[in-house]
Each structure stands twice: as structure tokens, then as C-alpha cells.
């Protein structure tokens, strides 16, 4: 049934004219074009390029923070801001680790296979979900077999069609982790929304940004140590400048992947190696 915002009025969307729809479409298209001007996954750039985004006078806090982070981090890989950035950043971070560590690669292939079975047992639509899993496993297997070289791996991750399949695997295991631990996580979902519905509309749907629950779930599902550095302390969940997931003491926590959070967006960042930090 089609209705306007007043649910008692049985009228259709006739209030929205073709012109208005056209205008909205044009606006959407412009935003999309702006997004698409940036690659899905940028090359590694020097971290100081971030400082250039902020003006010392008009945004002194971010300017100072960027400078401070530049003392610890040497590089940044910009990720496109299309609602998939968190999942994409973790995907790229993990793939980079696996390209350099065959043992971790083989381990992750094995755990991805386990996830395929787990998702089916959790009641995910059988063949569509296993299709995404198989695509992801095949992508990793080709790396393991030496059929896809490093350069091609990044080409794959920068190709929308391939990348969407890979991201979907991450969205599915994020959702699967929450569904498999629903008693623990259901209380954190607002407005009494059932967990399954939250997972389907917020996690399994493409281009939906990851919230804190999704972040925890993907970290647990992939068994990684993740650090998130915040440009703005007010949004860090623990009130600090960074957050370790799963919770860990700074002194002992060794992150596999580090992300930089700027309001509404995640990029991948890399710590200076001991040698270069002097």
C-alpha cells in the first residue's frame, strides 16, 4: 500500500511529482559521482597527506590531532566513503596480512569454510549465502595457489563487482556472529527491534554503515585485533583517543589492523616501523 506520511490518508505518492523525483535523482547521482571519483581502495599514501585536509585556523583540533598521529603512523590508505568503508578497510587490511603470511592465509581459508557451514546452520538462505562464501574462498584460494598475484589482488578489490562479493562475505559473517550470539547482543539493539531484523536491514544490506555492534561482531567473527584511532575524542566509545577491539590493555595489545575514524568514515592506517621512527 502506498501512503504519504500521514498513515490515515489512503493517498498515493502523487504528492511527489515527477520533477521532484528527477531532482532527487540528480542530487543522488551527483553525490554518487563524487564518491566514485575516489578509488574503492587507494594506494598507500604518506600519512602527512591527511594533515592537508585540515586548516590550522578553521579546524585546529583536527589539524593538531592529524599532526600528532603523524608521529606514530607513516602511511594511510584512503577507502571510498560509500557506506562500506568499515568492511572494506578490514577486508583490505586482512588481505594485506595474508599476502605476507601464508600460514594466516591458509588458516583464514579454513575458518571461512567453517563459516559457510555455520551460516547455513543459522538458517541463512542456503545457496545465495554459500555462493558469496564460495566466491570469497575462491578469491583467497587463488592467492594461495599463486594464481592471483599481489597486483591483481588490489585490482580485484578495486573492481566494484568483485569487491561487492567479497564485502558481502564480511557482512554475512558479521550478521552470522550476532545471530549466533543473539542472547548476548539483542539487548544492545534499540527500539526493541528483533536482532534478525536489525541484521537484515543494517548489516546484510549493502552500503549500510557499520555501527559499534557490527564492528564488534566482525572483529570477533574474523578473530582479529583491531585498533581504531579517533580524530575526535567525543565519539570514541571509551572516551579515549583510540579503542582496542577486543578490549585490550594498551601495553600488551598488538593490533593486526589499525583504522582511522573521522566522523562517519574509516580509513586504513599503518604504524611507522621501529627503524624509521628513529
Partner 1 sequence: MSDAATRRLMKELAQLKNENPEGLLIDNAITSSDLKQWKIGVVGAEGTLYAGEVFTLQFTFGPQYPFNSPEVMFVGDTIPAHPHIYSNGHICLSILSDDWTPALSVQSVCLSILSMLSSSKEKKHPMDDAIYVRTCNKNPSKTRWWFHDDSV
> Where do contacts with partner 1 occur on this chain (CB under 8 A)?
1-5, 7, 10-14, 16, 18, 21, 124-125, 127-129, 131-132, 160-162, 164-165, 168, 172, 200-201, 204-207
Task: Give the active site residue among 133, 242, 243, 265.
Answer: 265
Least CB distance to partner 1 at residue 223 (A): 23
Give whichever of 100 and 161 is closer to partner 1, judged by the CB atom.
161
Closer CB to partner 1, residue 54 or residue 132? Answer: 132
CB 69, CB 260: distance < 8 Å: yes
Q: How far apart are CA 252 and CA 142, in angstroms?
A: 35
Which of 5, 58 has the CB closer to partner 1?
A: 5
Q: Given 43, 85, 117, 225, which residue is catalytic?
A: 85
Cβ neighbourhood burial of 74 (10 Å; 0-12, 13-18, 19+): middle
> Residue 14 or 276: which CB sits closer to partner 1?
14
Instruction: Compute CA 88 distance to the chain's CA centroid, rounded to the nearest angstrom.
Output: 4
133 is known as an active-site residue: no
Q: Which residue of the set 82, 133, 242, 243 is catalytic? A: 82
Query: Min. distance of Cβ 125 from partner 1 in angstroms?
Result: 5
Cβ distance to partner 1 smaller for residue 175 or 222: 175
75 catalytically annotated:
no
Minimum distance from residue 249 beta carbon to partner 1 (Å): 38
Burial of 67 (0-12, 13-18, 19+ CB in 10 A): middle
Q: Which residue has the cell 564460495?
A: 134
CB of 2 to partner 1, least distance (A): 6
- Whether 85 is catalytic is yes
Provide the minimum distance between the beta carbon of 193 and partner 1 in the complex, in angstroms, as a whole number.
13
CA distance 202 to 231: 25
Closest to 54 (Cα-Cα) out of 253, 260, 237, 212: 260
b/e map 135-148, b = 16+ CB within 10 Å = ebbebbbebeeeeb
Name the grid cell of 275: 627503524
Q: Which residues are identified as catalytic?
A: 82, 85, 265
Amino acid at each position: 500500500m502506498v501512503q504519504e506520511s500521514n498513515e490515515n490518508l489512503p493517498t498515493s505518492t502523487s504528492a511527489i511529482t515527477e520533477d521532484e523525483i528527477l531532482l532527487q535523482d540528480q542530487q543522488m547521482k551527483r553525490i554518487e559521482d563524487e564518491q566514485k571519483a575516489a578509488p574503492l581502495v587507494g594506494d598507500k599514501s604518506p600519512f602527512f597527506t591527511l594533515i592537508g585536509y585540515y586548516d590550522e585556523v578553521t579546524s585546529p583540533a583536527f589539524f593538531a590531532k592529524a599532526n600528532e598521529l603523524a608521529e606514530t603512523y607513516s602511511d594511510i590508505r584512503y577507502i571510498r566513503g560509500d557506506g562500506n568503508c568499515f568492511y572494506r578497510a578490514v577486508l583490505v587490511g586482512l588481505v594485506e596480512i595474508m599476502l605476507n603470511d601464508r600460514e594466516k592465509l591458509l588458516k583464514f581459508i579454513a575458518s571461512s569454510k567453517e563459516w559457510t557451514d555455520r551460516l547455513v546452520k543459522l538458517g541463512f538462505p542456503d545457496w545465495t549465502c554459500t555462493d558469496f562464501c564460495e566466491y570469497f574462498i575462491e578469491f583467497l584460494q587463488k592467492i594461495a595457489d599463486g594464481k592471483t598475484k599481489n597486483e591483481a589482488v588490489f585490482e580485484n578489490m578495486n573492481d566494484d563487482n568483485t569487491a561487492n562479493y567479497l564485502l558481502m562475505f564480511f557482512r554475512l559473517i558479521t550478521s552470522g556472529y550476532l545471530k549466533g550470539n543473539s542472547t548476548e547482543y539483542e539487548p544492545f539493539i534499540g527500539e526493541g527491534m528483533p536482532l534478525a531484523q536489525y541484521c537484515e536491514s543494517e548489516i546484510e544490506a549493502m552500503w549500510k554503515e557499520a555501527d559499534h555492534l557490527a564492528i564488534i561482531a566482525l572483529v570477533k567473527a574474523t578473530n582479529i585485533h583491531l585498533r581504531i584511532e579517533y580524530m575526535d575524542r567525543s565519539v570514541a566509545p571509551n572516551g579515549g583517543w583510540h579503542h582496542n577491539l577486543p578490549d585490550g590493555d594498551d601495553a600488551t595489545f598488538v593490533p593486526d589492523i589499525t583504522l582511522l575514524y573521522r566522523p562517519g568514515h574509516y580509513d586504513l592506517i599503518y604504524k611507522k616501523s621501529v627503524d624509521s621512527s628513529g
